[in-house]
Structure 1
Amino acid sequence: MAELTLPLPAARPAATPEPVIELTGVRKTYRTGTVEFEALRGVDLRIDAGEYVAVMGPSGSGKSTLMNVLGCLDVATQGTYRLAGEDVGELDETDLADIRNRRIGFVFQQFHLLPSLSAWRNVELPLVYGHVPAAERRARAVAAMERVGLGDRLDNRPGELSGGQQQRVAVARALVGEPALLLADEPTGNLDSVSTRDVLALFDELHAQGRTIVLITHEEDVARRAQRVVRVFDGLVRTDGDPR
């Protein structure tokens, strides 16, 4: 009798990785009395793990509102925002605060370092809020400082550091919790050309290591360091090369 040969099961396609950022139809409307202003008008945006994306736009374009939504500092009026697969719109303020502390590392134009604390103690602050044990906080803060090239400046206070070094401390603080997303808002805005070059080189290194970075900037030469550029106009977004 002929041998019965069963067909092999079809190979399953590889699962598509979950994007770090996924905005679908996001709108943000501000109301003052009877006056309404729609800052975002149906934004669709996807940023995958390991991407380095610059966001640009003129004043009043909706760029700052988009940054606030991405950073969970504000919530969309309509649409869906998923951060690392989690629907941000379903979270209450306590959950949003936890998301901001654990999943997003923030770097701002102003360094926001506490002048009375040493550099490494500034870096450990997100872990303090996360109730991480003291010994682990110190080890992780030191590792983050070494990662940004400041292992020899652990005990210096912010006033004893240059502007570029202070921004590196701020980057170390953003990285210490190993967040899914590094969100940098005009991080070179207060730096001279040398410090700007150093900080952008650090972002290049982090990107090469697989870090997901969203950089908000108004400077074309800074934006060119990113993998792709998203431009915001009148509450809508367009990626460079998109014919819309």
Structure 2
Amino acid sequence: MSGIIELEGVRKTYRSGSIEFEALRGIDTTIAEGEYVAVIGPSGSGKSTLMNILGCLDTPSEGRYLLAGEDVSQMGEAQLAEVRNRRIGFVFQQFNLLAMLPAWRNVELPLVYAGVPRAERRERAVAALGRVGLADRIDNRPGELSGGQQQRVAVARALVTEPAMILADEPTGNLDSQSTTDVLALLDELHAAGRTIVLITHEHEVAARASRNLVIRDGAITSDEPVGALA
């Protein structure tokens, strides 16, 4: 398997006047194509900063980040936006759905930004909703869906561009226990089908669904092991 994500000596330092804070302290790791990896750590550990860099929402202060063979470490904002839209499917704790749009219109939004023709956008959005078990809900607005169904719409939106990886940031944080089970089962299915998934979480039970855990604390990876090895 080839590396979808390669991080080499990644550091992130924030500066405010004369004060410096090093949020990441030399991250080295590779995530292979088709892996399901959970990044786990407490609040303030650096996992959110790492998520922002993995998602091309921020860039390292030092080091290199290769995503699907592209060095995104030194890209400008316009280039990063293109990479985000082409190569990364995002699923957030907040569903970030537009309340006035039906499910399929929410799912097609990344394709709108990519300039895909209207007819193809609808076809691909409907197909993505079918993949997450919502073929009968394509015309429902978010307010007409349960929390778990809204998160499935968000997953469909993440899938619609056929990205190199799915980056899920605390995707079950706003869900009840049954919806959490449903969404994690969906991520399991996507992984089984060969999709690369990176899951950011502070919950050990959620991280246990991945095949590998990266434990981060004080801006550094303290453990990088298959899930079974952490039991």
CA offsets per residue over residues 76-126 of structure 1, 9 Å max, x none?
000000000000023211010001111000000000000000000000000
Q: How does 1:51-66 map to 2 (within 5 A)?
A: 51-66=35-50
Q: What residue number does 1:9 align with?
A: none
* Alignment partners' CA distance in 2, 1:204 and 1:216: 15
Matched-pair identity in % = 71
Q: Which amino acid aligns with 2:180?
A: T
Q: What residue number does 2:92 align with?
A: 108
Unaligned runs of 5+ in 1: 1-16
Is the 1:107–1:182 Cα contact (8 Å) retained in structure 2? yes
Q: Which secondary structure does the structure 2 equivalent of 1:152 belong to? A: helix
Q: Which amino acid aligns with 2:163?
A: P
Q: How does 1:129-144 map to 2 (within 5 A)?
A: 129-144=113-128
1:18 CA drift (Å): 3.3
Q: What residue number does 1:227 align with?
A: 211
- Does 2:195 correspond to 1:211? yes
Larger relative strand fraction:
2
Q: What residue number does 2:164 align with?
A: 180
* Alignment partners' CA distance in 2, 1:103 and 1:68: 14
Query: Which segment is superposed worse, 162-171 or 54-63?
Result: 54-63
Instruction: Tell me which stretches of 4 or more aligned residues in structure 1 moved more than 2 Å.
Output: 240-243
Is the 1:18–1:85 Cα contact (8 Å) retained in structure 2? no
Larger Rg: 1
Q: What residue number does 1:22 align with?
A: 6
1:58 CA drift (Å): 1.0
Larger relative helix fraction:
2
Q: TM-score, normalised by structure 1?
A: 0.91
Count residues with an aligned counterpart: 227
- Does 2:178 correspond to 1:191? no
Q: What residue number does 1:7 align with?
A: none
Taking only aligned residues, the RMSD between alpha carbons, in angstroms, comes to: 1.2
1:57 CA drift (Å): 0.6
Q: Which amino acid aligns with 2:89?
A: G
Unaligned runs of 5+ in 2: none
1:240 CA drift (Å): 3.1
1:73 CA drift (Å): 0.4
- Does 2:25 correspond to 1:41? yes
Q: What residue number does 1:124 align with?
A: 108
CA offsets per residue over residues 122-166 of structure 1, 9 Å max, x none?
000000000000010011000000000000000000000000000
- Does 2:196 correspond to 1:239? no
